Amino acid sequence: MDQQLLFFFSALGAFNGIIVGFYFLFFSKPKHLSNIFLGCLFLALSVRVGKSVFFYFYDTIADAYIQFGLFACWLIGPFLFFYIKSTIQVSSTLKKQAVSTLVSLGIVSFIINFLFPWSDHPKLWSYFVRGIYLQWLFFVILSGYVIFKNHQLIFKQSKNKPFKIWLSSIFLGNFIICLAFNTGNYTSYIVGALSFSFVFYALILLLLFYKRRDELLFLQIKKYQSNQINSEEVEKLSQHLEQLLLEDSLFLDANLTLQKVATLLKVSSVKISQILNQHLNTNFNDYINSFRIQAAKEKIVNGSDLTLEAIGLDCGFNSKSTFYNAFKKQTGTTPSKFREENKKV
């Protein structure tokens, strides 16, 4: 009975992983390169784990299926690596890089499988398997490096907490599964399959219970995909926006709104938001507050006799708390500490 439950739980994860893999490949919305890599990652893991499950319980399975499972294992690491890269930032070369890498690995794997069948070279395949596992581990480490290299963008600059949890879970889950298979000789061959089932259902629960899946799956939700602005127009509008705010001291208006600025510039508010979000990496409130903070700093440095609250109100803030919060957010210190540090002797 225990063996039957063990087989059921191990095999169920692999079976459901194939279904989820096809979902991300063909049915998930919005269509995104990362969904393709995620779907392929689930499929490759499911095939590899399925092979382990059946080989553990029914070691008489066909050699061709054993080789097919190891072929899938050869691609797990690359799919993880390109999935993580594509969720952070899709470049024009990423797709070509992924295709060339995966095709090259596929060709090498096909040649090995064709020239050295498992049934004829079982001892040689023990070395091949070790090499496949090391290659898998290499790509997991490489994926970790990509996350570490972009940790500022992912974990500090981005406010998308669900994505941070999802990406960390995907990486750590794959690391655990890879580690389980790499240490199978010292534990048990079925540990890798059980690890996959555990990780898989944890991820699916996370996916099902979080309603706003765009936030979960993508670092930055593509709000403006169908309305791209060329760099020349971005620069022109950015200059006009800054000129408008400075020349007319428009930022001093505590009731200033995005719509009012858009009307004065004779452009849509959506376009201004797009420029601020995509190209200046900020939002409207923070952008306006940057001008107000600069004006407040100048008053403080020049030794204004006004109270800090009065300076904040004078520079366009509508309350003491909003002034203090914005000042701390943009300078890393409080207005009182800033005044103390800039006192004229």
Output the average pLDDT for the chain: 78
SS3 240: helix
The mean pLDDT of 75-84, rounded to a whole number, is 90
Residue 185 has pLDDT above 60, yes or no: no
Q: What tokens were used for 279? A: 């190209």
Short-list 268, 318, 266, 274, CA closest to 292: 318
- Report the percentage of the chain scoring pLDDT > 70: 72
**305: phi then psi, degrees, rounded to nearest 5:** -85, -5
Distances (CA, A) of 131 to 107, 128, 134, 181: 16, 5, 5, 13
The mean pLDDT of 54-59, rounded to a whole number, is 60
Q: Which of the four pLDDT bands, split at 50, 70 and 90, describes residue 87?
A: confident
Short-list 227, 333, 342, CA closest to 277: 227
Angle at 226 between CA 34 and CA 100, to 5 degrees: 35
Quote the pLDDT of residue 187: 47
Q: Are 272 and 258 in contact (CB under 8 A)?
A: yes
Angle at 182 between CA 180 and CA 186, to 5 degrees: 80
Q: Which domains does the chain possess?
A: 2-217 (1.20.1070), 231-341 (1.10.10.60)
What is the value of pTM for the model shown? 0.57
Quote the pLDDT of residue 81: 93
Residue 292 has pLDDT above 90, yes or no: yes
Number of H helices, E strands in the chain: 16, 0
Q: Which of the four pLDDT bands, split at 50, 70 and 90, describes residue 33?
A: confident
Burial class of residue 179, CB neighbours in 10 A (0-12, 13-18, 19+)? middle
**Cα separation of 17 and 152, whole Å?**
32
